[in-house]
Amino acid sequence: MAPVRPKEAENFCICRKASCVGLQLSAIGIAALLATVALHPIFNVHEVTVAAARLRDPLGPETTHRPGSANGEGRTWYRRGAEQLETPGTAASGPLHCDIAPDGRFDCAPEKLLSRAECEARGCCYVPVSARGPAIWQPWCFFPPSYPSYKVENLSATETGYTASLTRTVPTFFPEDIMVLRLDVVFETEGRLHFTLRDPANKRYEVPLETPKARGQIASKLYSVQFSADPFGLMVFRESSGQVLLNTTVAPLFFADQFLQISTSLPSHFLSGLGEHLTSLALSVNWTKVTLWNRDMAPTPSVNLYGSHPFYLVMEDGGLAHGVFLLNSNAMDVVLQPSPALTWRTTGGILDFYVFLGPDPKSVVRQYLDVIGYPFMPPYWGLGFHLCRWGYSSTAATRQAVKNMTAAQFPLDVQWNDLDYTDAKRDFTFNKNNFKDYPNMVREFHQSGRRYVMIVDPAISSSGPPGSYKPYDDGLKRGVFIRNATGKPLVGKVWPGPTVFPDFTNPETHQWWHDMVKEFHDQVPFDGMWIDMNEPSNFVAGSLDGCPNNKLENPPYVPGVLGGSLRAGTICASSQQYLSSHYNLHSLYGLMEAIASHDALVRVRGKRPFVISRSTFAGHGRFAGHWTGDVRSSWEQLYYSISGVLLFNLYGVPLVGADVCGFLGDASEELCVRWTQLGAFYPFMRNHNDHGNKPQEPYAFSPAAQEAMRKALFLRYSLLPYLYTLFHKAHSAGETVARPLFLEFPADPNTLSVDRQFMWGAGLLVTPVLEAGKTKVSGYFPTETWYNLMAGSVIHSKGQWVLLPAPLDTINVHVRAGHILPLQEPGFTTTESRKKGMTLLVALTVAGVARGDLFWDDGESLLTFEKGDYTHILFLATNGVLLSELVQVNSQVDGLLLQEVTVLGVPSPPRRVLANGIPVSDFSYNADTKILIIPLTLPMGEQFVVTWS
């Protein structure tokens, strides 16, 4: 296509819907986009000036252009100074243009099925299609290009972006349209764009998440923005390439009181995120509807689960990536369609969007975490092995499990109890019969270097006589419980029977929760909290008294929630909380309880808190970890657990894992071995089992199976210094711990489909067996040199699949050339292992280079990084020299010895090895594997130089 000339560009419009059938936005640059037959006028802002009535922009030249080729081809020119922008009126009458390709249609009947007459009465097109398989969401009734939407008025520049009024003259088919909106577009950072759509006349609910603000004008940006005037649309471009990342002109904007909808094209079919669901890493865009509304539901395909994370990441051509976050906690659907495009539908609040420009996927995740918060730093012991089951029915049974682990020589850091310890399943109590020596048991665990965690549910028993149960009596006096429509505490039913629900949006509830935690901790010195059932779960729909019949209980649009209503499996949507209605706050319940629990543990214990929660929302990782709920003991769920772990790392919750061996149903020996091997590489590793199931503790299986599990557990423990350093990078720099291959190799398109392997940091590739009866496994190896961690064998990959031997006692783990991993001799607890000798595993590139680092502190004190109370050591190997650089040193590194350096990829046998200039005589070299082993005794807290020549 010829470049657009200035005169043509002044009043240029952009195409959508029928006029663009078959046009792939991902395959065209901006010049081609703007040269296509169009329907909408454009305001083009930032970098390209705006020709529009009443636009205030005192800066900028008379004529500017989008960067193109050196000779001017590919540029799009805009001339400023026009008094008005000619705009065709909204085509509300006349024939409809319905010849839109099926994959590009946007649903005009989202809330119910319509007949042809009903559809056309809405002013929409009706064309039946034969849908098969997942395409059941493909619409028959869809919007024509002329469907009325909002119109831009009074677009004006601000110090940090743009603001405008949007007006609608024709109401939609949903009640209580908000006919005037305020648009604010803020250029917050070079790589982060923030835009909101609000009701300027009435304050609406907004998510109470603290987010960063813009700090004045940004010198340069990775993005530019355009606006369509009538109907309103917003387009976001990647500045370097002109790639369209967001284009909301593809469908009309809806903003009614209880139905907000906005659609966008997508530049690629690869999209990941929008949790929590049982899904592969990449979501299908073949008419997939994703529902977000936190729900107590064992992981099942295609249903809303425990958490809501309205964030997605898209991989573009050439390894570029961007992300989008909708800060909205109401019940919502997100519809993906093959064109490709995406539609957000939410039932309240405002439209509050962040766009992250990357340009690489790691940067996208970091930019997202800049908004929602970096992850908390877990205690070192939290990375050890955890053991639990529902069914340790006494202190004797719990102690026996620990004794059996010790006798069978398995490491164990943290013993847990499910509800068995409680008195009648009530929080902050313990059974005075079977658990009469409960406090002593916990102290014994401490004496053996272990920790203890127990379950705490949010629902508080309300059925006892007054004065018999302090958490309820005190909470009632202090007004901390969620209230029903009559103003009384809403009563539901959970494990103890009739229960009330703490309102964690109320500051008084946080103080009450702290008081209950402290009183219980004064009796039982537990180390962490496992907060379950906090969606919140309810065994009756709404309450024991039902729910009122009002618009919050029966909204005009109900997303695709399991059970068909917002009250299914939880409390009434119309119940009242301190900040707003439960209708708005529901999906924040687990996050708010996690914050209260995190803060209570900080105050009560004075050490780093450890909280594992089932229900989550954006920002959860700042306060707690997550386990993926009641997974079934099956090979299918073993596979899905990888995507679950990787996605939560993208959501900023790196402390995550699935129940090893599964929770529901019996695990076969082979499945449990393979799950233990994979679980050894979950950032959070816990074996947990349902009551009534066959035992699945590691000691419950055959000697051969035990040996395979022991091998996996000790491998994990030897890698803990590396894992802990990864958590430090997550906490301090917004990195991931477990990460998908595409995050590390974004320019390799083969990595996009890989979700049966994953990486720890940038240096370790894990390839587990995920199918029964297999003793070989195929893994993808990006273009690099890779060393087998256990065998030392090497793969010089050109970007290829490799068939690996994988007998039952083996999980394949490969070290990426160029990395140095700090390892430590494993112990039976982290208390023991932290005192043992360190090894540096040096994986050389072909050029003989590698680097790595170690973060070390006391493992449990608060804010060690923030206070500078830590040790950070850099390691660099090049040309036969390994040296350490002490970035920061504290006393915790005293006594920590480097006892061995293992160098992978040494091409020829060295004649001499020196440590700090002193000869090392007992080094060994294997000419077959090219591995050099250097025994040492060097203090880690002092700089050292090791050479081989």
All residues at 6 or more sequence positions from 841 whose CB lies less than 8 Å from its CB, including other chains: 789, 815, 820, 821, 823, 902, 904
* CA neighbor of 812 nearest in space, from 795, 829, 833, 830: 795
CA separation for the pair 60, 62 (Å, rounded)? 7
CA distances for 153 relative to 52, 234, 256, 705, angstroms: 10, 14, 19, 70
**CB-side exposure of 269: number of CA atoms within 13 Å?**
12
Backbone angles phi, psi at 729, to 5 degrees: -70, -35
Catalytic choice (239, 532, 630, 744): 532
CA distances for 218 relative to 189, 215, 233, 235, 320, angstroms: 6, 8, 24, 19, 22
Pairing of strands 838-843, 897-904: parallel
Q: How far is CA 183 from the centre of its chain?
A: 28
CA separation for the pair 643, 187 (Å, rounded)? 33
**One-character DSSP codes across 868-919:** T-SEEEEEEEETTEEEEEEEE--GGGTT-EEEEEEEE---S--S-EEETTEE
* Under 8 Å between Cβ of 391 and 419: no
- Confirm whether 535 is a catalytic residue: yes
CA distances for 784 relative to 25, 389, 742, 816, 931, angstroms: 33, 42, 14, 7, 18
For residue 70, what is the DSSP state?
Answer: T
CA separation for the pair 891, 641 (Å, rounded)? 39
* Under 8 Å between Cβ of 905 and 843: yes
**CB-side exposure of 52: number of CA atoms within 13 Å?**
24
CA separation for the pair 388, 509 (Å, rounded)? 29
Catalytic choice (188, 535, 553, 599): 535
The one-letter amino acid at 497: G
The C-alpha torsion from 688 through 689 and 694 to 698, rounded to 10°, is 0
CA separation for the pair 364, 370 (Å, rounded)? 10
- Residue 91 CB coordination number (10 Å): 16
Pairing of strands 414-417, 385-387: parallel
The H or E element that residue 151 is part of is strand 151-157
Sheet of 528-531, strands arranged across:
656-657, 625-627, 611-613, 528-531, 451-456, 414-417, 385-387, 685-687, 659-660
> Bridge partners of 14?
40
Reported in sequence order, the residue ranges of 597-704 that DSSP labels E, i.e. its strands, are: 611-613, 616-617, 625-627, 656-657, 659-660, 685-687
Which structure tokens are listed for 331? 């019940």
* CA neighbor of 413 nearest in space, from 686, 661, 725: 686
Q: Is 732 helix (H, G, I), strand (E, B) or coil?
A: helix
Pairing of strands 849-856, 871-878: antiparallel
CA separation for the pair 456, 472 (Å, rounded)? 15
**One-character DSSP codes across 847-864:** TSEEEEEEEE--SSSTTH
Helices 438-447, 395-407: inter-axial angle, 10-degree rounding: 20
CA separation for the pair 581, 592 (Å, rounded)? 15
User: Which residues are catalytically annotated?
Assistant: 532, 535
